[in-house]
Amino acid sequence: MYKHSMSTADSANNNKDDIPDVCANCGKGEESTSDLKKCAACLSVKYCCRDCQIAHRPQHKKECKRRAAELHEEALFKEVEPEDCPVCIVRLPLLETGSTYMSCCGKVICSGCAYAPVYDDKGNRIRERTCPFCRTPAPASDEETVNRLKKRADGGDAESICMMGCYYGNGHYGFPQDYSKTLELWRRAAELGHAEACSKIGSAYYHGKGVERD
């Protein structure tokens, strides 16, 4: 029987997929190594089938929890590269007033590009307000703005989900004021990696807004 062991160096190389292409339980390989499935928690071993994973669990459990915790820490403290404006390729300002979310294409652009004149491919200024990135005409009403936002939220766009949470919290754009819905949307956005949503959740608990103060 193949017994899996992993040194500290091996653990550090897991992200490079330096994992034996054999089942950690029975030691058998597959004709196509893609048929071997990684342990979803630690990503450090592979199995040929569900039965082998269950059989190997008692001896793998301790190492699995340790490596899963390491992966969590790595992801938590991973340095995030600052985003650039997709139009001018200049780093976005940190202040909220320095950038604008475009509900048409889901891009966050700097305020300079948001208010700068837009030109067509012949150099003629476009009088109609359009998105500087995708050239979609600006929404003609609040209803159209909300519909665009909902469409992007349904597609899993974290920024639009967070914004909809704010609208429920403030009762804007015709949304009923509902703090429980606000927290639900912010949590969805946070799970998608939206940093501002995490901050808003913390603030809600700190001030006891919609939740018990903690």
Distances, alpha carbon 193 to alpha carbons 87, 94, 156, 179, 182, in Å: 23, 17, 11, 21, 17
Half-sphere exposure of 6 (CA within 13 A, CB side): 23
pLDDT of residue 80: 53
pLDDT tens-place string over residues 54-95: 999 999 999 999 999 888 878 766 655 558 898 999 999 888
pLDDT of residue 81: 57
pLDDT of residue 13: 42
Position 7 pLDDT exceeds 50: no
pLDDT of residue 126: 79
Both structure tokens of 140: 């003609």
Q: Which amino acid is at 83?
A: E
**pLDDT range class, residue 190, cuts 50, 70, 90:** very high
As a whole number, the mean pLDDT across the chain is 83
pLDDT of residue 183: 93
**Mean pLDDT throughout 146-172?**
91
Strand 46-47 to 99-101 pairing:
unpaired
CB 110 within 8 A of CB 141: no
pLDDT of residue 171: 87
pLDDT of residue 8: 37
**pLDDT range class, residue 174, cuts 50, 70, 90:** confident
Name residues whose C-beta falls within 8 Å of residue 108's C-beta, 6 or more positions apart in sequence. 83, 85, 92, 99, 100, 101, 102, 159
pLDDT of residue 96: 81
pLDDT of residue 78: 63
Position 165 pLDDT exceeds 90: yes
Give percent above pLDDT 90 in the chain: 34
pLDDT tens-place string over residues 100-149: 999 888 889 999 998 888 787 788 887 888 888 888 898 888 889 899 98
Both structure tokens of 167: 């609208």
pLDDT of residue 16: 45
**Residue 176, helix vs strand vs coil:** coil
pTM to 2 decimal places: 0.56
β-bridge partners, 47: 37
Distances, alpha carbon 17 to alpha carbons 5, 21, 44, 67, 142, in Å: 15, 10, 8, 14, 49
Both structure tokens of 15: 């992200």
